[in-house]
Amino acid sequence: DFCDELLARIAPRGDDVALLALRLPAAGMGAPGDTEPPPPPQSGQSEAAPERAAPGSRRQEAEVEDPTHAEPGE
């Protein structure tokens, strides 16, 4: 329904329609209501690919403190 409404509003023609069709998700790849096949497993801790970093950004390790470790004098 959303795609139909969007297409009606922008009235694409020719190559525009073909390009829009290429962007639609395939079955099982995130289309609303799709459950088959299930999406590929992903870790919540997976790192971004290094080549996808923002221009000029630097990689920095996260500063994680051990909650069971107490500093002397605390």
Tell me how far CA of residue 61 lies from CA of 6, 12, 16, 46, 47, in angstroms. Answer: 42, 46, 43, 14, 11
User: What's residue 28's pLDDT?
Assistant: 52
Domain contains 21: yes
Dihedral of CA 32/44/63/51: which sign?
A: negative
Listed in sequence order, the residues at least 6 apart from 35 whose beta carbon sits closer than 8 Å to its beta carbon are 28
Task: Examine residue 2 and state whether it is found in any structural domain, yes or no.
Answer: yes
Residue 65 lies in a domain: no
Is the residue at 73 inside a domain? no
Q: Is residue 30 part of a domain?
A: no
Question: Domain containing 6: what range?
Answer: 1-25
In the prediction, which pLDDT does 8 show? 75
Q: What is the pLDDT of residues 6-63, one digit of tens each?
A: 777 777 677 777 777 666 666 556 666 666 666 667 666 666 666 677 777 777 776 7
